[in-house]
Structure 1
Amino acid sequence: MKKWLRKFSTVTMATLLATGSLATSVFVSAQEDEEFETGTLTEFPLTEETVHMSLMAPGTGMAEWADMPTLQVYEEMTNISWEYITPPMSDFGTRMNLAFASGDLPDIIYGAGSGTLTRGMEVDYGRQGILIPLEGYLAEYAPNFTALTEENPDILRSITAPDGHIYSLPFLSGGPTGIWPTGPLWYNGAWLDALGVEEVPTTVDDFYDLLVRMRDEDPNGNGQADEIPFTDVALEYSRPYILTAFGMKAFGIEEVDGVVRYAPVTDNYRAYLEFMAKLYSEGLLDQETFIQANEQKKAKGQNNQIGLFQDWFSFFTLGGTEDEAVNNPMFHPLTSEWAPEPISPASPQLQTGVFAITNQAENPELAVQWVDYFYSPDGAAFLNQGPEGAMWIWSENEAGEPVKVFNTENVDITNTEEYRGQITPDYGIPVPKGTFNVAGVHVDPNETDASAFSDFIRDETEAKMQPYAEVPFPVTYLTTDEQDIIVTMQTDLNTFIVEQEARFITGVQEINDDTWAQYVNTINSMGIDDYVMVHQQAYDRWVQAGE
């Protein structure tokens, strides 16, 4: 078999792996053999004779998968051809469940993610023999993925079911944004400038004082009292960052010094509710927080009416450009009597359920080899950016170094993401791959990966998240018996605490000793002790797996 080795110079590979991209990976293995230096340990073709396989995945509607250049080229590279079954994302869960129920399954379930192919489903279908164990194939057929697990052992224990088997391979997220549990909170930098604020708050008291100033001192300068200091949509995205100010990491199950607890029944959570109710009653929290949609929030942002908000990047809400967004600082975690040390919630940087092989596959070893390429720097870049000639072509900068630039014959550079969704499945769904620090695609060959905005994102994250980051609870699997205990309970608990949060914060229900006791008693009556016990058992298994 021949190796697929791109003819990169040392300078080119240094460029491909240089810092500056938002896709830096914490999982990159520092091996120094020739194959790793070229970006992959995969040998192509994977088979001398063409093999046909089938794959079910959620379609984004951008293009038929069979027409995507990335997959067309990869078929040529691998000698594996595919039947792609790609129902719309809105129908995918239903179609996948029907396939499992009927037994009319494809060889591969791809891009489902843990929200659709849940870890409970993996355990159940694995026990029935419908999903096959993958661990026996990894050492021989997945050298790139194996290298990542050797660098970070948490990967393996986070994807291993209680029966000791691995039923799906993950999406691994990295880079400066990989640690984000969701898009951060951002301050309106123009308002901070107007108020003469040079450093963002680091305590709950200073945070409250700043919101008061935003409300009262006309920072948008229009002479009207129309400022909204703090807004969100039902607190769904801001909540994790405010909870930490009161010593919690999650709106539910969390681990504290090896002990699992349910945060919404703690005194810490009551303190959070009382603080947020104070903000709401004083007009510091948007009065439409629990009734508005994201579009309404963004409209307020673009009307220069909000001072603190959540989004992936600040210009998504406020409008403007990346260059202007560097003036909008990231929220800093807050301390209080409940949290004397700052805490920032962190993502486990791993999602399960993105690549599973069913018992219909006649060549599971080839399927594992096929996906393993995407856990290498070369493969991840190929999956994300497509092959040469589709979205990008090679050019040279003024120094004579090769640089990827947009293929402007195909790509409208004002809307590159829409085109990317037509050339690769790595768009809008979680895909099996590692995330590495690889070169981006440029408009001008004399650009570099580094930019003021990417530097800003990296620096803000390193200053305000990374030093304080804690994963609330690791990625764990439950046994079938444990799932039976909590499956209904979990839905009922989530519904109840979300509804009660809104009632307490908006003042529909006063927070006092009697109402708090009633609230806690209701949660206790729903079986919270068993709920916590199950997660403690899962956490203990996870810890033991790493010993």
Structure 2
Amino acid sequence: MRKFTKAAAMLCAAAMVIPSASVFAAEDGGASELTEVGTYPISEEPLEFTMFRTNMPNVEDFQTNDFTKYMEDLTNIKFTFEAVARDDRAEKLNMEFNTNTYPDVIMHYAPDAAKWGVEEGILIPLDDLIEANMPNYMEKMGQYLDQMRETDGHIYQLAGLNECYHCQYARKMWVNTKYLDEMGVDVPQTTQEFYDVCKKFVETYPDKIAIGGASSGWYVDFVAWLMGSFTLDSGEYGKLALTPDGEMVSAATTEEWREGLRYIKSLYDIGAIYDGNFTQDSEQLRTIMNQEDVPVLFVPFGTISDGIDSDSNNEVYRQYQCISPLEGPDGTRITPYFKYSGLETGSFSITDKCSNPAAVLRWVDYFFSEKGDISAQFGADEGKDWVWEPNDGSVGLNGEPAMYKISDDAQYSSEVQNHDWQDLVIRYAPAEYRLGAATDPDVDTGTSAGLEKLLYDATKEKQEPYGQNPENGDLDVLPDLKMTADESTELQTIQVEVKNYINSAKVAFITGTKSLDDDWDTYLKELDACGLQTMIDIYQAAYDRQFKAE
């Protein structure tokens, strides 16, 4: 493993090919204008920057947010935010890069570092700047520095750590148990039982929706969940996955995938699948879920709180229960274990337009302080929003003495608020911290205060036992792979075309406009024409470089 101190020598060697703004950033970054590292304010004179970031419906306005004001007062640094919806951010930011209208800073989204950093020099290398300006980050994240390096040896993006247990098994399906009780049926455990329940629901409630879903949002794809009864849907472009031997394959070309689509088509044929699932976004799904007559039986959400608010619609919230993946015809029963998701390797970038990278890095270093993450998540008013190290005997989800206690008023909610930033920030949340939130062992999981326990229990009981196991021959999810600039450029168009074709073909096969018997070979040929094999070869080369090189 390379030592971090080697980065300085590597950076000097590369200086001649890095744009002049990046050279300045690497050598000083404006540090001479600032107060002592680790002290606040960061600058005696006010500093202003622009930031591109992800938006979310339950944060009203980052510009006027209470936590934004807190950070401005603490650091003497002000940001003007461009907040973009999750599904639009890639296209939007790439357009800004191409038109030279990009901001100083990018947070909670990872632009292509191989292209925009290594090749174009728009994202600046951060190697020496991190060491000089981020003591909290070095202490907490220093062990991960080598995993952040691109193929040229430099670091262009800070990583966050969010070891969220329930997020590592985020592909959840929820069922309205009120309807199950009314129909006199149990929670289905197999694909056949699921089919039977859906059929009875359609016959009993012909004006309601047996299976809901959306085309965009946080784990709202019903097809992906149902595929767990046939094969692993990794969620990657091209549905790429690894065999136990480390070979890259596309699950979307396998017979298991075809049989999964055949099963889902059978559900569509009985009227169990709402056509809107293929085009609506998660907000539209949420609107349907909150209609007065509660029209949905099964619905996928990473957390049910994204679909129904526990406070304003509590009766309905309590009706939904997480279910286990279904056992398929051959015994397959997989819920993806996204084991690499804790390390978020592209959470923060600085562009060559930034006039003072050192100040920006000192600003973001706050989030890696003892109380930085909790303040961003729940509000910065210690004692009111949260208490650190409560001395009231509280225990965390893990049964250990609680690290902190969140007030009832500051608990996470899907309702619109303007007090904090929620998850839309670079995070430092290791497992012991996530599980260290004070939780009454007897907390009512039907309330907002019980959400973390609800998700923890559902994950532990309904999902973890079914995570993929390569030792048993299962396909596996991909680790973070670093591409060269050439590879990244070649993938840029291929990935989108492959993804779009798989999605459109999936809908066509399920709805019957394409035949799984007559059109399957054509589908495979079209995937090759889109560049799927090239994509597989590039990913294989990157994997071999990182994990098979001697």
TM-score, length of structure 1 as denominator length: 0.72
Q: Deviations along 1:295-338, whole A, 9 cap, x unmatched?
A: 36743664243321123444654677457634422121223355
Cα distance in 2 for partners of 1:387, 1:54 equals: 22
Is 1:188 the equivalent of 2:180?
Answer: no
Change (3 A) 1:352 1:504: same
- Aligned partner of 1:85 in structure 2 is 80
2:496 aligned with 1:491, yes or no? yes
Distance across 1 between alignment mates of 2:98 and 2:342: 31
d(CA) in 1 for partners of 2:502 and 2:511?
14
Instruction: Kindly provide the amino acid, as one letter, of the partner of residue 482 in structure 1.
Output: E
What residue in structure 2 maps to residue 4 of structure 1? Answer: none
C-alpha contact (below 8 Å) 1:325/1:453 kept by paired residues? no
1:47 Cα offset (Å): 5.0
Distance (whole Å) between structure 2 residues aligned to residue 46 and residue 315 of structure 1: 37
- Please give the alpha-carbon distance, in whole angstroms, between the structure 2 residues aligned to 1:497 and 1:400: 52
* 2:49 paired residue number: 54
Summarize the Cα distance change of 1:139–1:338 in structure 2 as closer, same or farther, 3 Å threshold: farther
Aligned to 1:434: 428
- Cα distance in 1 for partners of 2:116, 2:109 equals 16
Cα displacement (A) at 1:384: 2.3
- In structure 2, distance between residues paired with 1:359 and 1:167: 11
- What does residue 67 of structure 2 align with? 70
The one of 227, 232, 253 equivalent to 1:243 is 227
Q: Please state how far the C-alpha of 1:341 moved relative to its aligned partner.
A: 5.1
Matches of 2:537 and 2:412, distance apart in 1: 52
Three-state SS of the structure 2 residue aligned to 1:330 is: strand
What is aligned with 1:255? 242
| Residues 145-224 of structure 1 mapped to structure 2, 5 A cutoff | 145-149=137-141, 156=145, 159-181=148-170, 184-198=172-186, 200-216=187-203, 218=204
Q: Aligned partners of 2:280, 2:178: CA distance in 1, in Å?
A: 24
**Quick check: 1:267 aligned with 2:261?**
no
Where do 1:363-378 residues align within 5 Å?
Answer: 363-378=356-371
Pair 1:530 & 2:525 matched: no
Identity %: 21
Shift in Å at residue 266 of structure 1?
1.1
| Equivalent residue, structure 2, for 1:311 | 301
Contact 1:134 1:166 (C-alpha < 8 Å) held by counterparts: yes
Q: Scaled by the length of structure 2, what TM-score is found?
A: 0.72
CA contact (8 A) 1:130 1:359 kept: yes
- Aligned partner of 1:488: which letter? T
State the shift of 1:58 in Å: 4.0
CA distance in 2, matches of 1:160, 1:93: 21
Pick aligned residue for 1:355 from 348, 357, 361: 348
Q: What residue is the counterpart of 1:284 in the other structure?
A: 272
In the alignment, is residue 381 of structure 1 matched against residue 374 of structure 2? yes
CA 62–526 in structure 1, closer or farther in 2 if over 3 Å, else same = closer
Which residue is equivalent to 2:443? none
Give the RMSD, CA atoms, in angstroms: 4.2
Residues 63 and 126 of structure 1, relative CA distance in 2, 3 Å threshold: same
In the alignment of these two chains, the number of paired residues is: 472
SS of 2:323 mapped into structure 1? coil
1:408-465: CA deviation from partner (whole Å, max 9, x where unpaired): xxx9x9999544x3x44x25x7321223437589xxxxxxx99444322210111122
Which ranges in structure 1 are unaligned for 5 or more consecutive residues?
1-41, 219-223, 442-448
Residues 284/349 of structure 1: CA separation in 2 closer, same or farther (3 Å cut): same
